[in-house]
Amino acid sequence: MTQATDATKSASEPCLLTHDEGRVRVLTFNRPRALNAFNQELYLALAEALRSADADPQVRVIVLTGAGDAFTAGQDLTEMASMASATGVIGFEVLLDALEAVGKPILAAVNGLGLGLGLTILLHTDINLMADEAKLKCPFVTLGVVPEAGSSFLLPHVLGYQRTAELLFSARYMGAKEARETGLVLETLPRAQLLPRVLELATKIAQQPPAAVRETKRLMRHATRGEARAARAREAEEFKARMVSPEFQEAMRAFAEKRAPNFD
Amino acid sequence: MTQATDATKSASEPCLLTHDEGRVRVLTFNRPRALNAFNQELYLALAEALRSADADPQVRVIVLTGAGDAFTAGQDLTEMASMASATGVIGFEVLLDALEAVGKPILAAVNGLGLGLGLTILLHTDINLMADEAKLKCPFVTLGVVPEAGSSFLLPHVLGYQRTAELLFSARYMGAKEARETGLVLETLPRAQLLPRVLELATKIAQQPPAAVRETKRLMRHATRGEARAARAREAEEFKARMVSPEFQEAMRAFAEKRAPNFD
Amino acid sequence: MTQATDATKSASEPCLLTHDEGRVRVLTFNRPRALNAFNQELYLALAEALRSADADPQVRVIVLTGAGDAFTAGQDLTEMASMASATGVIGFEVLLDALEAVGKPILAAVNGLGLGLGLTILLHTDINLMADEAKLKCPFVTLGVVPEAGSSFLLPHVLGYQRTAELLFSARYMGAKEARETGLVLETLPRAQLLPRVLELATKIAQQPPAAVRETKRLMRHATRGEARAARAREAEEFKARMVSPEFQEAMRAFAEKRAPNFD
């Protein structure tokens, strides 16, 4: 997939959909054939949409969700190999900076599969609800890499150290019930009821005095912001080292050859 | 209500009751007609009673509870508007400093309604038990203000970030069952059994070697003390700014006019 | 028990057993007649075995468990009194430094009773599973001393502040169900199934790319390492002071005289 192809595609079908329900801005990842995986285009589109929603006085709450059956498969693996040698703007980092800068509440409606950033983005949103049918996974070690998006600090903060260790080391799926019980999401419900319920909650929050809500979020985020940023910096440094490791190369070869990787 | 009136009232009926059960000092908020709301008098009386109990070698454990049906409605709103222009000693800050300085274990028996400080005081006590009939709420954003008492740091520390965000943004009530499941209180039981159970637990702790207990509390509190203090300072600064905001003024007008506030 | 006796005993029956299951190194505390209590010999043997396992390229995961009915009774009280006047190497500190330095995942199979370090060691392992029949207790205050092994910081981090306060102040037992519900262990199961399940999980982790797993653990531990170390230093300082306190002396006299201590 080249940038030219992306540009062509995005002209007819944007990779991010935007619409408002009253004072709630809904942003929908819209690459359903790629399970809404994040390519450079989607990273930058979402970052820009977040900045725009945060600046818009008509918008009080932001909702993130995915089109079709998936929430998001995370980093698009077809672009991942090229990240090792990437120069210039890294969409992933631009998106995380944008997420961190948003002052308004962000709710996530996890409608389906979440991989990698599909899970770790939930550490940067404020309230997450999840469809019973959805499942989440952090496949970092299986790819020979390490956690990202500050998750080496934020995920233990939410799930506890042990559960995080077990999930990251085994790279297994977590279902909706477990996500709720461990505190990764607040509520789980059938997919058909997910977005209506998220909008109901978002609308209720949108009725509160917006500056008080914004300052409350700022005060709450303050406590972990420094550590989350420091974790992101440590992760990014190690991530770069991992991308030239034999483990990562074997994982990418196995992905290309559609076989299980061999780490013996 | 003037200070003179308070002084008259407190002569006949003190705003704080004190009695000992063996080595356990029980302090009871006693303004039942005001749902035990904290006015300047009660802030200072409780602060002084905590210092006195901590210094008394006959006392090993402290219990906090409320008279009548409420635990405490928090800041007395009839005095809140005047806080914006207050000079001299702020009772609220005096109480928090006193709570933080107590070396002995403090148990809370949440017998009924807790609003604002009625919830956030539970972040400065060591063990909280709650009546099944009680409920708690942080109405900060609805008043156009922000969390206090270090709760922007301590509440996410206890409930997790997301649950705290949802509670603070929506300003809804939390019942006893949810308070237990989220870790805000350790046990819930019928109101008639609450104080006996709290005294049983307090008496058991009072049989332990007191210096070892005190040093254990000191070591446990050390880890969060600095961050809790820093959060309090950030909150206090923002609180002051919020009290001259249009949102706060609308909230106070609506309170005086007994109507719902309008933040559109 | 003298060092000479220990040396004789350890010649015939080592205090720590070591065997490998594939790429998993299993280390078994083996002083069953002393409920696997840690004496100086066992502290040093386990520290050395951890360093050796971490350096061995054939080993990818480490498992800790106890021989017989107990996990470990923690500090051997027959050696505790002499610690007050100890000079030279302190086995306890050597072990904690070694645990902290291990880069590979450590799983604990809590097969039975855990006292003191038998609980607090679980804050330095990565994934803990526990037999339904096992129970855990931190008897620190009852001995007139304070929490150790960084537990004044790490235990509230896992269980929450209140539950930790209640457990430490009351020095009561915690069963397997409560240990799981509070997050101290991830799974509980009948003792006969414990080690097979731990080995199954360890083997699964051992199939992942080892450098990615190691770096993931390093990143995850980074966030709490500094605070855990600082807590250990504060605890060690206070522990020394407590060991010359009247409370500690009464606790040791009561232990020697097989009577309940009196702290009135």
What are the pLDDT digits (tens) for C128-159? 999 999 999 999 999 999 999 999 999 999 99
Q: Could you tell me the two tokens for A88?
A: 């210039």
**Which among B82, B126, B119, B105 is positioned nearest to B203, based on CA atoms?**
B105
Phi then psi for residue C174, to 5 deg, are -120, 125
Considering only CB atoms, B170 lies closest to which of A205, A219, A223, namely A205
From C229's Cα to the closest Cα of chain B, the distance in A is: 11
Q: Map tokens 């007819």 to a residue.
A: A12
Task: Check: CB of residue C105 under 8 Å from CB of residue A165.
Answer: yes
Answering whether pTM is above 0.95, one says no
Q: From chain C, pick out residues whose CB is under 8 angstroms from the CB of A242.
A: 211-212, 215
Q: Which is nearest to B15 in space by CA: B34, B123, B135, B61?
A: B34
Q: With CB atoms and an 8 Å threshold, state whether B158 touches C161.
A: yes
Q: Which residue of C has its CA nearest to A249?
A: C209
Average pLDDT value for residue range B166-184: 97
Contacts of C212 in chain A (CB under 8 A): 140-141, 143-146, 242, 245, 247
SS (H, E, C) chain B: CCHHHHHHHHHHCCCEEEEEECCEEEEEECCHHHCCCECHHHHHHHHHHHHHHHHCCCCCEEEEEECCCEEECCECHHHHHHHCCCCCCCHHHHHHHHHHHCCCCEEEEECCEEECHHHHHHHCCCEEEEECCCEEECCCHHHCCCCCCCHHHHHHHHHCHHHHHHHHHHCCCEEHHHHHHCCCCCEEECHHHHHHHHHHHHHHHHCCCHHHHHHHHHHHHHHHHHHHHHHHHHHHHHHHHHCCCHHHHHHHHHHHCCCCCCCC
Among A208-217, B104-113, C223-232, the minimum mean pLDDT is found in C223-232
**CB < 8 Å to A157, chain B:** 161
> Tell me: the pLDDT tens digits for C236-263?
999 999 989 999 999 989 988 999 999 9
The whole-number pLDDT of residue B77 equals 82
Is residue C5 predicted with pLDDT exceeding 80?
Answer: no
Chain C nearest-CA distance from A110, in A, is 25
**d(CA A146, nearest CA chain B) in Å:** 24
Q: Which domains does chain C have, with CATH numbers?
A: 3-256 (3.90.226.10)
User: pLDDT-derived band of residue C84, with 50, 70 and 90 as boundaries?
Assistant: low
Report the distance separating Cα A175 and Cα C59, nearest Å.
Answer: 31
Query: Angle CA(B10)–CA(B43)–CA(B161) in degrees, nearest 5?
Result: 145
The shortest CB-CB distance from C186 to any of A163, A231, A235 is to A163
CB-CB contact of B188 with B177 (8 Å): yes
B86 CB neighbour count, 10 Å cutoff? 13
Mean pLDDT across B155-161: 96
The answer on pLDDT for B10 being more than 80 is no
What is chain A's percent helix, strand, coil content, to nearest 5? 55, 15, 30
Q: Which of A183, A212, A222 sits opposite B162 (nearest CB)?
A: A183
CA distance linking residue B66 with residue A56, whole number of Å? 46
Q: Which chains touch B (3 or more CB pairs under 8 A)?
A: A, C
pLDDT digits (tens, 9 = 90+) for B35-75: 999 999 999 999 999 999 999 999 999 999 999 999 999 99
- The DSSP H or E segment spanning A64 is strand A61-66
Closest CA to A53 of A65, A61, A64: A61
- CB spacing of B204 vs C170 below 8 angstroms: yes
> What is the count of residue pairs from A and B with beta carbons less than 8 Å apart?
97
Residue of C61, C163, C187, C208 to mutate, interface with A, max A Cβ within 10 Å: C208
For residue C233, the chain B residue with the least C-alpha distance is B219
Residue of B nearest to A198 (CA): B166
Chain A with chain C: Cβ pairs closer than 8 A: 97
Other beta carbons less than 10 A from residue C97's beta carbon: 14
In terms of Cα–Cα distance, which of A1, B126, B158 is closest to B138? B158
Find the residue in B nearest to A218 (Cα). Answer: B152
| Residue of B95, B92, B93 lying closest to B79 (CA atoms) | B92
Is A78 or C116 the better-scoring residue by pLDDT?
C116
SS3 C183: coil
Read off the DSSP letter of residue A125: S
Are B219 and C140 within 8 A, CB to CB? Answer: no
User: Which residue blocks in C56-175 are alpha helix, DSSP H?
Assistant: 77-83, 91-101, 117-120, 151-159, 161-170
What's the mean pLDDT in C56-84?
90
Contact C144 B105 (CB under 8 A): no
Task: Please tell me the distance in Å from C59's CA to the nearest CA on chain A.
Answer: 12
Contact, C134 vs C111, CB < 8 A? yes
Q: Answer whether B169's CB lies under 8 Å from A208's CB.
A: yes
Which of A59, A61, A220, A227 to probe by mutation at the B interface, max B CB count within 10 Å? A220
CB of C120 closer than 8 Å to CB of C155: yes
Q: What is the 3-state secondary structure (H, E, C) of A164-187?
A: HHHHHHHCCCEEHHHHHHCCCCCE
Whole-number Å distance between alpha carbons of C166 and C176: 17
Model confidence at B78, pLDDT cuts 50, 70, 90, reads confident
Cβ contact B170–A213 (<8 Å): no
What are phi and psi for residue C129, nearest 5 degrees? -120, 155
| Residue from the list B208, B213, B220 with its beta carbon closest to the beta carbon of C152 | B220
Q: What is the DSSP letter of A38?
A: B
CB contact under 8 A, B209 and C247: yes
Are the C-beta atoms of C217 and C105 separated by less than 8 Å? Answer: yes
Chain B residue with CA closest to A128: the answer is B162
Does residue C2 have a pLDDT over 70? no
Question: Quick check: A234 and C222 CB within 8 A?
Answer: yes
CA distance A233 to A240: 11
In this complex, do A238 and C223 lie within 8 Å of one another by their Cβ atoms? no
Mutate to test the interface with A, among B159, B161, B249 (most CBs of A within 10 A): B161
pLDDT at A2 (0 to 100) = 35
B-C CB pairs within 8 A amount to 97
- Contact partners of C by the rule of 3+ C-beta pairs under 8 A? A, B
Neighbors of chain A by Cβ distance (3+ pairs < 8 Å)? B, C
Quote the tokens at residue B15: 């705003």
CB C254 within 8 A of CB C262: yes
A155 Cα distance to chain centroid: 13
- pLDDT band for position C167 (50/70/90)? very high
Give the Cα separation of A102 and A73 in Å (integer): 23
- What is the residue type of C38? F
CA distance C106 to C66: 14
B157, B216, B223: residue with CB nearest C168 = B216
Asked whether A12 and A30 are in contact (CB, 8 A), the reply is: no
- Neighboring chain A residues of B163 at a CB cutoff of 8 Å: 183, 186
d(CA B64, CA B177): 20
pLDDT confidence bin for A3, thresholds 50/70/90: very low
Query: Does the beta-carbon distance from C217 to A165 stay under 8 Å?
Result: yes
